[in-house]
Structures are given as structure tokens and as C-alpha cells.
Amino acid sequence: MNAYKDFQNRFKVLASKHRNLVVNTLSNIFTMRLIGNKTHGDLAEIGIAEFINQFMYDFKSIHVGKDLFRAKEHEEDIVIINEITNSKFPVSLKAYGDGPLQLSTDSDQKMFPYLEKQGREITDKRKIAEIFSSTAFSEFNNINVMPLIYNEKKKQCNIMIFDHEKAIKNTARILYIDKGESLAGKSKGKSRKHPIFMFLDKDNNYICEVRYGGASANALQRGLWTQTKNATSYFDSITNGWIDYSHNHALVKLFSLALNSTEAGHKEANKILQEDIDKLIKT
């Protein structure tokens, strides 16, 4: 079993035995959307890293930080270390609404041009196997993405891991969809500005897609994507399903005070917060 898969299984056990810990941390993370629409994504990185350090005894996590961005070998936000096996692996944290989810930016833009050379509809099993074993798709099964998915209207969240192995095994058709087209009958649509290659299983169920919009495209219009709503059978929830969360307004006030208080005050506050976490561990 690979190191990230082992971590996922351990997280699921924790979430089933001590659900209150997961609910508490995720509620606090998504409360950050009250401060700003993108704030929760950045704070999720340090929040989940600390969650691992506080509650997952055999693991240690390090927040990579933005200063190291240019030196990163992978698309990681945190590095997790299994202190029993000494294995170390990077993880990319994504905080997305329930819908489109980017699995990889495909920064070298290899996937889409490679697929263009293979044809506009690929159904041959051997050809599909060649695609997944190609250099262009070498990172497909090595992307450690940990998506924190939320539905703000329902106040629900979920940590859903895309099953790359299942996706590779079940892909039966790779189909080119041009801009302005949709899958059903390749009918014209208004929303698609750039072409994609869509991956489907034998029952024509959606799995994922490779986007590439060329020079005019932004990061949201290229790379490897999937849909959390349309590809549910290709995800594993390590929170054991959807979690109801609530906003913690006291936390917003805490941030307001912290930004206007001294480091000495922060140190005293940290002691109180650690005592509170220690009580959570014992419950």
C-alpha cells in the first residue's frame, strides 16, 4: 500500500471514532469564508497540517509555505511524514465548492497535446493503456490531492479523494469535445470556451477530463479536472460522508483581536488554545 493511501485509511478511522475533531476543524476552516472567499483555502493548509500534528499520532505534517513555491517539485502545500515507516509524501490541498475540481495544473502542458495526436475518440483498450503509461501521463497516478469540498447553501463539507487507480482501470472511452459542444449528441452549448478530452467508463459515465485552452487560457481552463457531482463513484470520502458544519463567529473575532495585539499576547493565547486542544484529545 502506498504511503498516501495508508494515510487516507488512518484518517478515515480517526474520523469514524472521533468525528467531533474533524467537524470542529472543518467548521473553523470554512468559517474563514466569512473573512474572504479565498481565505479559507490558504488557512486550510495550516489548519489541516496542525490537525495531523495534534490528532494523528503516527504522522507529522509540515506546511511547505508560499516562499518555497518556485522550488517545489510537486504541487504540494504540505508534506506528511509517517513516523513509523519514515515515508514522506507531498499533498496538495484544494478547497473547492461541490462541482469542478482541478486535480493537476499539468504545468508542462503535456496531456492535451499528447491526446490530440492519438485521435478524437479512443476506445481501444490497448491504446488507452498506452496513454496512461505514457510520459505525458506519468504523474496521473502520483497526484496526492486532498480536496476539502463544501456546499455553502447546505452548510456541508466533505474530504473526497479521487481514486486514480479506479479511473485508469475503468476508462473505456476518451472523447474530444470541442468548444461550444457538450457530450450528449455533441450538441452546441454556450459555456465551453475551450476544447477538452473527456474520460468515460463502459457505461458512458463521466470520470474526468483534460483541459487545454492554449495561450489565452487561464489556470481554470487547463490541466486535469473532474466533477465531484458527476464522478461520485470515483471518489472516496475519508470523512465517511458529508459533515454538517457551522460558522464560528468567535473565531473571526479572535483573528480581529490577534491582528491588533502583540506577539506576547499571541504567546499567551497559544498556551490557552493548546490546553483546549489537549482537552479535546482526552474526550
pLDDT-based confidence at 217, cuts 50/70/90? low
Distance in angstroms (rounded) separating the CA atoms of residues 28 and 250: 10
96 assigned to some structural domain: yes
Residue 261 inside a domain? The answer is no
- When pLDDT is averaged across residues 8-21 and rounded to a whole number, the result is 96
What number is the average pLDDT over the span 267-279?
Answer: 96
State which H helix or E strand residue 217 sits in.
none
Q: Per-residue pLDDT averaged across 33-43, rounded?
A: 87
Q: Flag the least confident range among 12-16, 35-39, 123-127, 146-150.
A: 35-39
* Residue 212 resides in a domain: yes
pLDDT at 11: 97
Residue 237 lies in a domain: yes
51: amino acid identity, one letter = F
Question: Residue 87 above 70 pLDDT?
Answer: yes
Residue among 22, 23, 91 nearest 63 (CA): 91
d(CA 211, CA 252): 37
| Cα–Cα distance measured from residue 47 to residue 22, given in angstroms and rounded to the nearest whole number | 11
pLDDT band at 46 (very low <50, low <70, confident <90, very high): very high
Residue 265 domain flag: no
For residue 36, tell me if it sits in a domain.
yes
**Quick check: 73 pLDDT over 60?**
no
For residue 192, name the pLDDT band (cuts at 50, 70, 90).
Answer: low
Q: How confident is the model at residue 12 (pLDDT cuts 50, 70, 90)?
A: very high
Domain containing 152 equals 3-247
Q: Is 266 within the bounds of a domain? A: no
Residue 261 φ/ψ, nearest 5 degrees = -115, 175
Quick check: is 275 in a domain?
A: no
Count the domains in the chain: 1
